[in-house]
Amino acid sequence: MKDRVKVVVTGAAGQISYSLIPRLVDGHTFGDKIVDLELVEIPQVVDKLEGLVMELEDSNFPNMGNVNYTSDFEEAAKNADWFLLVGSIPRGIVFNGKKIEERADLLQINGGIFVGQGQAIGKFGKPDAKILVVGNPANTNALIGRHAANNDSQLWMAMTMLDSSRARSVLSKKLNTGIGEISKMIIWGNHSPTMYPDFENVVLNGVQGKDLIHDMEWVKNEFLPVVQQRGKAVIDSRGASSATSAAKAALDTVVACENPTESGDCFSAAVLSDGSYDLPEGIICGMPLMTTPEGKIEIVRDIVLSDFAKEKIKISTDELIEERTAVEDLLK
């Protein structure tokens, strides 16, 4: 009998989830495991998920198990192994009669959502559940959810893999190589325009980025701005935020957590800082991670940071501290 894994996806009627959900059950993300899906949406749009369930059924995915859709997050959370928290309130929409423009408002509104979800995950999710927050502001949403869950055996992460993928794409063009040839693309800090893509510690054919990239003007004036502003560029071009690439990044994060990391490699996600690399403790911060052969997610602790990198990372961690301060009432 095949093993089973239960996966909860919020924001399941959105564009990201439309790209994400079918690939959870295609036999790649979770291998041979049977995947039971709990698709969650707000009451106003939850009925739209009926059509998505029909499509999933009609696709005949061999690894798809039970599929349910609901607006009851607590019910969905029971005994779940994975939570992909895609749903969040975006900037610019009208919420409770007010247009959400300021980051402080965005943090407070989403914070309230993640308090409730965190409490449910802590109470009803499996003790070793893994939680990946995709909905922005992802790092601080994850911090709020983790605090509300009050369950240290569960792993809360915010997604930085999309930033990592964007950085690899830009570097591959600069180095005239395939994207798949570049490894150890670490994203430090916040999933925001302040994040730092660590070009110096990438590896290409056994050579570190610091020995491949010497043009610091290109780094400062092209590489960093392009990667940090890529999300905005996508919105400006297509009139909507990244969907296909965000879904792929979430899947890549799950795969990285589900499979042992190759020796000498790492992957990027944001987890609770324990002070490693002199990062402030108590923030959800992007850093290098690895999955052990036993399936445990650990911080990789042997990365060497230049003074340039430390300066850039501090800008991002300062922002995370500001965000934490803005929601401190939700962290009591």
Q: Which residues are catalytic?
A: 191
* Contacts of residue 124, Cβ cutoff 8 Å, sequence gap at least 6: 74, 77, 78, 79, 80
Structure tokens at 1: 């009998």
Beta strand 297-299 with 186-188: parallel, antiparallel or unpaired? unpaired
DSSP 260: P
CB 29, CB 60: distance < 8 Å: no
- What is the DSSP secondary structure assignment for residue 295, as one 8-state letter? S
Q: How many CB atoms are closer than 10 A to CB 154?
A: 20
**Which phi and psi (to 5°) does residue 37 adopt?**
-110, 135
Distance CA 149, CA 281 (A): 18
Instruction: List the beta strands (DSSP E) in the chain.
Output: 4-10, 34-40, 64-70, 82-85, 94-95, 98-99, 130-133, 155-158, 182-183, 186-188, 196-198, 203-204, 207-208, 267-272, 284-291, 297-299
> Under a CB-based contact definition with an 8 Å cutoff, are residues 253 and 160 in contact?
no
